[in-house]
Structure 1
Amino acid sequence: MSQDHQNPITVSLKDLRDNNVSDSLLVDAFGRESLGIIIVTDLPDHYKQLRARVLQNAAKLAHLAPEKLAKIEVPEAFWLVGWSCGKEKLANGLPDNYKGSYYVNCDFYAEKSGQKPEFTAQDLANCKEYTSNNVFPDDSDIPRFEQDLKDLLTLMIDTAKQVAKNCDRYLTNNKQATGQAAAVNSNNYLENIVKTSNTTKARLLHYYAPPADAAPESDDSWCGEHVDHSCITALTSEYLIQNGNTSNEVTLPASEQHKYGLFIRDRQGSPLRVEIPKDALAFQTGSALEAISGGVFRAIPHYVKAPSSPEIARSTLAVFCQPSLHDKVSVDKDFVTFSREILSKNH
C-alpha cells in the first residue's frame, strides 16, 4: 500500500481481499479531505490483454457504419442502453458529439450467482434505462465483442466487491460517528449492492479525435465536469489511438501528458490529473455513496480534457456500481428518484 497526499491512494488486490486496508487509509482515499479515488494493483494476469482488446473494440464500434450503430440504439431507454452519441447535453446546452457511449446493464453479474434481478410491472414500464435488454453488435462486425466485454466487466465488478467490503468494515466500525443513512442496515451493505444490484451500469466510451480546426477551448473539452451518481465507479486506464489505428496503443510525449486526460478536483478546488496504470483499476466515489455514508465518503468532481494533437482518440470503460431501484439512499429518497433527478439535467 502507498500513501501520498498529492496522488491517489494505491492498494493491492491481495490487501483488499485479506482485509489488510486500514480505516485511516480508506479515509485518506475516500473521506472528506481525500481525492475520492483509489488505485488497485496486482490484478489477474489476463487483465492487461483483456483491457486492450475491449478498448480497441470501443474504437471499432464507434466507427461502424451509421446504419449498424442505429440497430443498437435504444431510444426508449433514454439512450442509456446500447449506443449513444450526441444525446447528452454539455454545460452550454449543446449536444455532446465528440463522445460515443455504449451502455450495458450488468444484471448478468448478479444472475451468475443466482441473484436474478426482479422488476415490478411499474419498473418495466417506467425504468427502461435499467430494465431494457442489452443489445450487442454482430460478431461478424466485431468478433468476441460481447464475450470480452462481459469478461472484463466481471473482473471489474469482482474487484469493486473487494473495495466495497472494506468500505463496509469502516462504516460498520464507525456507524455512530458517520451519521450514515438509515438504509445502511447490514454490515455488508455496499458489498451486497455490488453483488446483487439491478442497476449496475457499464459505459464503454470512445472520445473522438477533435477536428483539426476545433482546438479545445475549455478544460473539460472531452467530458464536462460532473460527479457520478453511483456508489463506486470502476475505471480502466485510457487507451489512446492515433489516426484511427486501433491495434496500436500510443503514448503522448511527456511534455503533453500532464495537459490532457482524466482530472479530478481536490477539496481545495484545484485540478489534479490522475494517471491510472495500464495494469491497474481505479475506483471513484459517487454521490450515492456520499448520501448513504452521511457525507463521510465524498463524491469527487472530475472531467476529461482532450490533448492538443487533433489526431488522438481515447477509449475507456467505466462501471457504475449503484443501489437497486428502490434501495434507499437517504431517509426520503430511493435510488430511482435520486438518479432520475440527475439524468433529467443531462438528457
Structure 2
Amino acid sequence: MLNKIFIRAYFQTVKAVRFTFDEIQNCSSNLNAKIEEAYGSHGLGLAIVSGIPNYSKMRLELLPLAQKLAIQPKEYLKSLERPEAFHSKGWSCGVEQFKGKFDKSKGSFYNNPNYDTPHDLGKEYEHLIKKGSLIRLDNVWPNRIPELEGAFKNLGRLMVDTGALLSYHIDKYIYSKCNTYEMGKLYRYIRSGDSHVGRLLHYFDGPNTDEWCGWHNDHSALTALTCPIYMHNDKIVDYTDKEGGLLAKNRYAEIMKVGMDPDCLAFQIGETAQIVSGGIVEATPHCVVKSDETVRRQLNRNTFAVFMGPLFNEVLNVPKGIDKNKALNKPAYNIPSLLGRWDENMTFLEYSANSFKAYS
C-alpha cells in the first residue's frame, strides 16, 4: 500500500511536457527537442496535449457513464463480460492480477472505438490467431445505457486522431537517432491498426487498503489518457487529488506524481513503441493510488484510456543494427519483465496474448 507518509516522502508533482494541438497538427514543425524531453532517455515517457477541439465536451459526456455502468446489477454486468477474449471486450472486474492478487478496486469497460467488427486477417493468419490464443470479437454495448456507445466512439476516435498526429513527430525523433528505423512506423500503426482498445474506468470508493491500480507498463504502442473526474454518488465533484492519482516512474525509477489539467490529454509510450524503436523511446511505468482524502470524502474516480497498437500480424523487431536487449525494461522499474513476453520476429498478436496472460 502507498500510504500518506510514503507519498509525501518519496515523490514530487511534476508537470509533463506540453504540446498544443496546433503544433502537432503542423507536419513541418520540428518538435524533436520537446519529444526528447518527454520521451527520451531522461524523460518521463509521458506528455500532454492541450487545445484539442471538442475534447472537453466529449470528456464530460463520457466519463460520468463509467459510474452509471458500474452500478448496474451484477447479473447484467456479467452478461457484458467476454472472458474468451481475455476481457479485452466488454465489462471486466476482478480478473487482473497485481502482486499476485486479483484487482477488485475498479471496473473496466473495453471496446474498439474505431471498429465494431475486427478486420478479417485472412486464412493465412489463422495460425497466428490460434498460436496467440486470442479470439477477436465484435464490440459489445450495454443496451441499458444507449448513450454510452456514441460517447465512447466519439471521444475514442478523437483520442486516436490526436495520437496519430503526435506519433508523426515521435517517428521523426526516433529516425533522427537511428536511420535504420522505418520512418512513419508509429503513425502507420495508429492510422491503420485495428487493435485499438478503449478502456472506460470506474475506480470504486472504499477503504484505503491498496493501490487503485498497481505498477505496470502498457503493452500497446501509444496510450491516450483523459484527466479523471471524481464523483460522490451521482454528482461530479470539483476536486483535484493532491496526494493520489496517477504516478509514473522516470528513467531513474524515481516516483513522480503527474500534474495534468482537465482540458488536456496525456500520451504515454507503450512497450510496442519501445520495442520497435530499440529503446530510443521507453514505456511509462505507472500506477494509480487512492489518497486518504478521496476515502474520507467517499469519492470514486472515472477516466478513459485508449491503447493504440498495430495490426495483429505486424512483426515487432528492433531496428537493424540495434541490440534487442536495449529494448527490454529496466529491472529497477519493478514491473513484469518484457523478456518472456516478447522476442524477435514475434507478431503483435502473440505478444499481446502473452501480455494479457501476464496480468490475468
- Give the TM-score, by structure 2 length: 0.82
Cα pair 1:130 1:199 within 8 Å, conserved: no
Identity over aligned pairs, percent: 29
Amino acid at match of 1:61: L
Look up the match of 1:288.
272
**Equivalent position to 1:203, from 199, 204, 209:** 199
Cα pair 1:79 1:129 within 8 Å, conserved: no
Amino acid at match of 2:258: V
How does 1:272-311 map onto structure 2 within 5 Å?
A: 272-308=256-292, 309-310=294-295, 311=298
Amino acid at match of 2:136: T
| Structure 2 counterpart SS, 1:274 | strand
Cα pair 1:137 1:145 within 8 Å, conserved: yes
Amino acid at match of 2:101: L
Cα pair 2:15 2:260 within 8 Å, conserved: no
Look up the match of 1:250.
238
Cα pair 1:54 1:149 within 8 Å, conserved: yes
The answer to whether 1:317 aligns with 2:304 is yes
Look up the match of 2:321.
none
Distance 1:32 1:270 in 2: 14
Residue 98 of structure 1: how far off its partner (Å): 1.0
Look up the match of 1:131.
136
How does 1:103-182 map onto structure 2 within 5 Å?
A: 103-108=110-115, 117-121=119-123, 122=126, 131-138=136-143, 141-176=144-179, 180=181
How does 1:331-346 map onto structure 2 within 5 Å?
A: 331-346=344-359
Cα pair 1:205 1:316 within 8 Å, conserved: yes
Deviates more, 1:11-20 or 1:129-138: 129-138
Residue 264 of structure 1: how far off its partner (Å): 0.4
Look up the match of 2:316.
329
Deviates more, 1:120-129 or 1:315-324: 120-129
Distance 1:162 1:125 in 2: 34
Distance 1:89 1:227 in 2: 14
Distance 1:124 1:293 in 2: 25
Cα pair 2:46 2:266 within 8 Å, conserved: yes
Segments of 5+ residues of structure 1 without an aligned counterpart are none
The answer to whether 1:74 aligns with 2:82 is yes
Distance 2:112 2:23 in 1: 29
Residue 7 of structure 1: how far off its partner (Å): 2.8
Look up the match of 2:217.
227
Look up the match of 2:230.
240
Provide, for residues 247-267 of structure 1, a one-character-per-residue CA deviation record: whole Å limited to 9, x for no partner.
423305xxxx33100000112
Distance 2:139 2:196 in 1: 13
Residue 168 of structure 1: how far off its partner (Å): 1.8
Moved over 6 A (4+): none
Cα pair 2:81 2:87 within 8 Å, conserved: yes
- Give the TM-score, by structure 1 length: 0.85
Cα pair 2:171 2:184 within 8 Å, conserved: yes
Distance 1:40 1:62 in 2: 29
Segments of 5+ residues of structure 2 without an aligned counterpart are 1-12, 318-343
Cα pair 1:76 1:128 within 8 Å, conserved: no
**Equivalent position to 2:43, from 34, 46, 67:** 34
Look up the match of 2:6.
none
**RMSD of aligned alpha carbons:** 2.1
Distance 1:98 1:130 in 2: 26
